[in-house]
Amino acid sequence: MPGAIDLHTHSSVSDGTETPGQLIRAAVASGLGTIAITDHDSTAGWHEAFTAATGTGLTVIPGMELSTNYGPASVHMLAYLFNPADATIITETARIRDGRLHRAERIVEKIARDYDLTWDDVLAQSIDGGTLGRPHIADALVAKGFVANRSAAFESILHWQGGYYEKYYAPSPLEGVRMIVAAGGVPVLAHPATHGRYRVIEERAVKELVDEGLFGLEIHHRDNTEDGKERLFELAAKFGLVVTGSSDYHGLGKPNRLAENTTSPEALEAIVAAGTGYTPFHG
Ligand code: AMP
Ligand code: FE
Ligand code: FE
Ligand code: ZN
């Protein structure tokens, strides 16, 4: 789809397998018009993405996928066009990344009781200063021949009920929305219906987030169930939320392909108009 808009992608700054530059070249090759780079809890890929997009005609929306914890559940929140130099953004994302690092160490310690896996094996799969996650442990398990690929690792050893799982520090969704809005950004709940209609975040919790500036819901995403999407459309209509769609591309790390789901030009326009912490980069 020429000129398509894909607002959720990952690079090797977090758990994508391509550098930000490679991600941008893949976006250009696939004919995208606009891409958001949304690494987990990091803005470290923005500049390389802008540089790679220069002269290509591609528009880059700088973004991030913020980790939040809602009780026992991990809730991902996309953030667009916020000021990356905002003090709270810097300290909170550093705290989350640090928490993820120690959590990954704890997971590896547990796995190492049963498998020949070392911390160095995991570090070898990630870049210095990147946001570490289970995908990097998965890649180490693949490299050691214990599983066939990332998905197989997530279905077995790395499954949250697989016996090795550990949680990590993250702010609440409410704190997340406040922090993004205070930095001039636009918060959109990422894939909020991966567990179906009846496990979508409750209406009064959504209302609380909306009251603090939640702007949209990522409804067109392969992990949202069909009945979950119906529920999300009801919530979007009720609270006047913008609807987005995206691939959640991770390079070779996931089957998700660029532009497999897309966002309308009208929704993008609304997001760009609302974001005051940074401007889109027109390459
Ligand atoms: P973590 O944030 O460390 O708990 O790991 C979760 C991340 O792993 C998510 O951001 C996904 O992108 C990725 N992930 C989850 N399930 C899979 C899967 N089946 N295959 C590949 N990556 C996955
Ligand atoms: Fe990811
Ligand atoms: Fe996510
Ligand atoms: Zn993602």
Distance of alpha carbon 57 from its chain centroid, rounded? Answer: 24
Quote the ligand 4 centre to 6 CA distance (angstroms): 12
Predicted model pTM: 0.97
What atom of ligand 1 comes closest to residue 67's alpha carbon? Answer: 2
Under the banding of pLDDT at 50, 70 and 90, the label for residue 198 is confident
Under the banding of pLDDT at 50, 70 and 90, the label for residue 73 is very high
Q: Which residues touch 203 (CB under 8 Å, ≥6 apart)?
A: 235, 238
3-class secondary-structure state, position 128: coil
pLDDT for the residue 151: 96
Reported as a single tens digit per residue, the pLDDT across 223-245 is 999 999 999 999 999 999 999 99
pLDDT for the residue 200: 86
Quote the ligand 4 centre to 228 CA distance (angstroms): 18
Task: Output phi, psi for 66, to 5 deg.
Answer: -80, 135
Does any ligand 1 atom lie closer than 6 A to the CB of residue 253? yes
| Closest ligand (CA of 139) | 1
Mean pLDDT, the chain, rounded, equals: 97
Q: Which residues touch 178 (CB under 8 Å, ≥6 apart)?
A: 212, 213
Reported as a single tens digit per residue, the pLDDT across 83-119 is 999 999 999 999 999 999 999 999 999 999 999 999 9
Half-sphere exposure of 217 (CA within 13 A, CB side): 26
Instruction: Work out the average pLDDT over 168-186.
Output: 98
In this model, does residue 2 exceed pLDDT 70?
Answer: no
Does any ligand 1 atom lie closer than 6 A to the CB of residue 76? no
Does any ligand 1 atom lie closer than 6 A to the CB of residue 278? no
Does any ligand 1 atom lie closer than 6 A to the CB of residue 135? yes
Beta-carbon neighbours within 5 Å of ion ligand 3: 76, 190
Task: Output phi, psi for 228, to 5 deg.
Answer: -65, -40
> For ligand 1, atom 14, which residue shows the shortest CA distance?
135
Instruction: Work out the average pLDDT over 6-11.
Output: 98
> For ligand 1, atom 3, which residue shows the shortest CA distance?
133
Does any ligand 1 atom lie closer than 6 A to the CB of residue 134? yes
Tokens at 80, concatenated = 């667009």
Note the helical H segments in 84-128: 87-112, 119-123
Reported as a single tens digit per residue, the pLDDT across 128-149 is 999 999 999 999 999 999 999 9
CA dist 273 and 134 (Å) reads: 35
CA dist 101 and 95 (Å) reads: 10
Closest CA to 39 of 102, 96, 119, 88: 96
pLDDT for the residue 1: 57
| Closest ligand (CA of 74) | 1
What atom of ligand 1 comes closest to residue 134's alpha carbon? Answer: 3
Does any ligand 1 atom lie closer than 6 A to the CB of residue 8? no
- Return the H-helix or E-strand segment holding 182: helix 173-182
Q: For 199, which DSSP code?
A: G
